[in-house]
Chains A and B, each alone.
Chain A
C-alpha cells in the first residue's frame, strides 16, 4: 500500500491540474519483441533530443515538447491501439518506425488530419504529396536506397553482366525495392536474384546456401531486427566478401555487425544521415540530458547509428514545428499547422550547423508536390577493429529519372483505388 498511495495521489493531481500548453510527439516505440534491438536506440534518440530542447531552450518556440511513448512491439494491432490512445492528446506527428503500422495509419491519420513522418521507411510512393497530403518520407526512401546502392556499385566498376542478389525481409518492407531493382537491372544490365527471408529471420541457412551456389557478385540486403545479424554471420560463414555486401539503412547499425566480430569487417550500409557522436549537439545532450539523469531508456545508446536516426527524426520534427510557428504566428501549434510546417520545411547547411549538427544530413526542401525530398544517400562502412561506422561517400543523388515515374504510377493507382483527387 505504501507504493500505491503516492502513485494514486500523484495521478489524481495530474488529473486535477489544468492542461498546460505543450507540443505532443507520440513515440510508437518498440522496446520489446524481436525488433527491440533496433527500436530501443531510435526511441532513446527521439526522446533525448526533445528532453534536451526542453532543458536547454525551454521547449520549441517557448512551448514545452512532450514525448508520449507507447509500446507497440512492432505489432500492427498494438500500433492501432497506441494511435487511438494518443491521438486525443493533441498529437502533432506520428513516427511509427514500422512499415506495417505506417500502412495502417496512412488512411486513418489522413482522415484525422494528423501528419505521419515515415523517415526512410513506410510507403515509398507517399513521396507524391499530391495524393498523400499528410504523409511525409523525406529525406530519402527505399527506392532511393536501392538506386543508391546500384549507383555506388557502378562507381566501383562496370556492373553489366554481374549478378546481384537481394536478400529481403518477406514483408511489405522488404518487397519495396524489388520493382526499382528490376527496372534498374533492365537499364544497367545486371542479373537480379530475389531471396526472401521470412519473419523474424533467425533461420537463413537455405538462403545463404543458395547464395553460395549461385555466387552473386554483390548482395544487397533489406533486413531488420535479428535478421540482419544472422545474415551478416551467415555471410561470414560462407566467406562472402563483406566489401560486396550492402545493407539498406535499417541493416546498418552496431547491433547487426557486432555479433559477427572481426568477420564483419568491411560490411557496408546505406545511410541518409551522419554517424558517430562527433557533433556539437552531443555535448548539449550530455550536459542537459545524461548528466541531469534524464536520458531515455538505459542511456547507453548515445552515438549509435539508430540513436542518431531517432535524434535526426526528432530534429526534423522540431524544425518543422519552428517552420509552422513562423507560418502561422502561434507558438502552440496544432496538428494541421504542423502539417503545413512539414510541407514548408527547408534544411540547409547553415541550419544544421546552428543546431550543432554540421553536415549531419543532406540539405533539402519539402514542397507540396514532393514529400520525399531529393533522395540523397550516402554509404557507410563498418570497421570491426575500431568498432565504428564511417561515412565513405558523400550524400549523392539517386536515379530520380527512373524512380519518379514509379512513384507517380504507384501513388496514382492508390488515388484511383481510394478516390482521392490529387491536390497542389
Chain B
C-alpha cells in the first residue's frame, strides 16, 4: 500500500540514484522538512527549545559524526566528549579572537579544527583495532579534558576556568548569549543539522562510504580489492571529527552558553553519544536521529509523567528514570540488536506489502 515502487517510473540515472527513490518516502521527507522549517519556529517557546529541540538537534549531529566513524567505518571511539570539547573551545577561541566574523563561519571552522585533532588521534587506528582502539580513544577523551582544564590559554585566563559565549548575531538576530529567541537558536541548529545530514547521507552512499564499509566489514579483504586503509580510516576520523566538532560548538555556544569542560564534556558524554548510535542503529543516518531523539526525549518525558502528572517526589522519579532507561536499552538490544533504524526498515517492508502480505 505504502512505500511502493509500482507506478513510480524513473527515466534518468539521476532520478534512480536519489536519496529517497520511492515517491511516498520522498514526499514524507519534504513534509518533515516543511514542518521543521515552516511550522515549528512559529510554535516554539523557550521550554520546548531548551528541554527538547536544541539538545535533540545537537546530539543528532554528534550521533551522525560518531556513526560515520563507528557505524560505517567500524572504528570504535570513546573520545566523542573530548572531541566535542575541542569544537566548543575552538569556537570559543575563534569567537573571542575574531568578534567581527559571523558565528556561522566560526562553527564551521570549529568543525575543521576538530577534524584535524580527531585525525591526529585516529593515527593509532592504523595499527590497532577493536577494544584496543577504544582504549586509545578513551585516552584522547581524558587527555583533551585535562588539557582544557590545565592550559589557561584555552579559556582566556578566566579565574574560574569557565568559558562563556558572548552575544553573536546572524542577520542581526542574536543566536548566542542571553537575549536569544527560541526560534532563532532552533533554526540556527536546524540549518546545521540539515546540511550535516545531507552531506553525511551522500558521503555514505557514495564511493567514500563504500570504502568505509569495506574496511568495517573486513579490512584485509578491502585492502586486497584496492581500498587504501590509511586513507579510508583517517578520512572517517576527519569527517566524523568535523561533525562532532560542529555539535560541540553548537552545544557550547547556542545551547548552554557557559561550559566547564570536565562537567559537560566528560566521559559520560562519550557514552551517551555511543548509546545513541547503538540504540538508533549503527550505520544509519536515520538511526542517528532516532537514537538522539530516544535518549533526549525519554528522560524528560518520564520526568513530566512522574513529577508533573503523578506528583511523585523528584528523587524517586530520577531513580526510576535510570531504571527505565537502562531497562529499555537492554530490551531494545535483545529485541532488536540493529536498533530503531532496523525497526523502521522492517516497518517499511511490512507497509509495502500491506494489506496483502502474500
User: Which A residues lie at the B interface, using CB under 8 A?
Assistant: 7, 10-11, 29, 31-32, 36, 40, 69-71, 73, 75-77, 80-81, 84-85, 87-88, 99-100, 103-104, 106-108, 110-111, 123, 170-172, 175-176, 178-179, 196, 198-199, 297, 410, 417-419
Contact = CB atoms under 8 A, between A and B. Distances in A.
Interface stretch (B117-125, B201-209, B312-320, B327-335): B312-320
Given A32-B319, A76-B264, A108-B178, A103 B164 contact: yes
B275 to A, nearest CB: 15
Given A11-B309, A111-B179, A417-B164, A81 B262 contact: no
Contacts of B50: 80-81, 84
A84 B164 contact: no
8 contacts: A31-B314, A71-B317, A76-B264, A80-B256, A100-B260, A104-B257, A171-B262, A175-B161
A88 B159 contact: no
Q: Specify the main secondary structure of chain B where it touches its partner.
A: helix
* 8 tightest Cβ-Cβ pairs between the two chains A and B: A107-B178, A31-B315, A172-B160, A71-B314, A111-B178, A32-B318, A84-B47, A103-B258
B112 interface: no
B177 interface: yes
A402 to B, nearest CB: 15
B159 A108 contact: no
B155 to A, nearest CB: 10
A419 B315 CA distance: 40
B314 A29 contact: yes
A209 B338 CA distance: 48
B161 A172 contact: yes
B8 interface: no
B299 to A, nearest CB: 8
A77 B256 contact: yes
A198 B167 contact: no
Interface of B: 46-47, 50-51, 55, 149, 159-162, 164, 166-167, 177-179, 255-258, 260, 262-264, 266, 300, 303, 307, 309-311, 313-315, 317-319
Nearest to A32: B318
Contacts of B149: 170, 196
B160 A123 contact: yes
Given A32-B315, A71-B314, A419-B167, A172 B51 contact: no
A87 B47 CA distance: 9
Contacts of A170: 149, 262
B318 A88 contact: no
Contact of B46 (A40, A76, A84, A417): A84
B51 A108 contact: no
A10 B313 CA distance: 16
Contacts of B255: 80
Given A71-B314, A171-B260, 13 more contacts: A29-B314, A31-B315, A76-B264, A77-B55, A77-B256, A103-B162, A104-B256, A107-B164, A176-B159, A179-B159, A196-B149, A410-B159, A418-B177
Nearest to B264: A76
Contacts of A70: 307, 314
Contact of A85 (B51, B162, B167, B178): B51
